[in-house]
Amino acid sequence: MEKLDQRIQLVASREFNDLVDQWRRAQSDLPSRSEAIRRLVHYGLQYDQEFPMRMITAIIRPHKYDELRDALVALGIEGITKTQVAGFGRQRGQTEIYRGREYEVTDVPKLRIDVAVPSGMVDKALAEIEKVTHTGKIGDGKIFVTPLERVIRIRTGEQNENALD
């Protein structure tokens, strides 16, 4: 076993300690909280090495797209994929009036925005997406973040973060 000779002071909230202890108890081989934190940090670093890029998928109101596109380009994001989609969330559709008759529309038109970014840009991109698309009303949409294992630019064969530029 490697000798541990560096101490790191960590000030944490009671909630953080409780979460670490809860996770530690579910493991069979962690005798202390410090050992659990050491392992969790290792897992986090390993995750960032294995998945250095993220795919951000946002479901937004269509009229917010132009403003969002401009904001993401200003951040330095070079590629955006836009897809017209329809669906419903909590609102379960909406009531429309057409030629004086009322009818229910169960699927609401939305835009799906897909953006691949290096993991270091995720928080900036998410903050910008939230800021631009937020109206405070039901139907603002959702944002999903998933790890990207590999990206390849077809034209040049560049891979991963080089393919994002």
Report the residue count for the chain.
165
Report the C-alpha dihedral over residues 97, 102, 107, 111, rounded to 10 degrees.
Answer: 10
Position 54 confidence tier, pLDDT thresholds 50, 70, 90: very high
Contact 74, 21 (CB under 8 A): no
Q: Which of 2-6, 70-74, 85-89, 97-101 has the lowest mean pLDDT?
A: 2-6
Beta strands at 53-60 and 142-148: parallel, antiparallel or unpaired: antiparallel
Question: What is the Cα–Cα distance from 59 to 83, expressed in whole angstroms?
Answer: 9
Percent over 70 (pLDDT), the chain: 95
Give 131's pLDDT tier (boundaries 50, 70, 90). very high
CA distance 129 to 131: 6
Burial of 61 (0-12, 13-18, 19+ CB in 10 A): middle
Residue 146 has pLDDT above 90, yes or no: yes
For the cut 80, the answer to whether the pLDDT of residue 135 exceeds it is yes
140-162 mean pLDDT: 90
Decide if pLDDT at 91 tops 70.
Answer: no
Give the pLDDT confidence score for residue 93 in this predicted structure: 61
pLDDT at residue 105 tops 80: no
pLDDT tens, 28-48? 888 888 889 989 998 888 887
Token output for 155: 């034209």
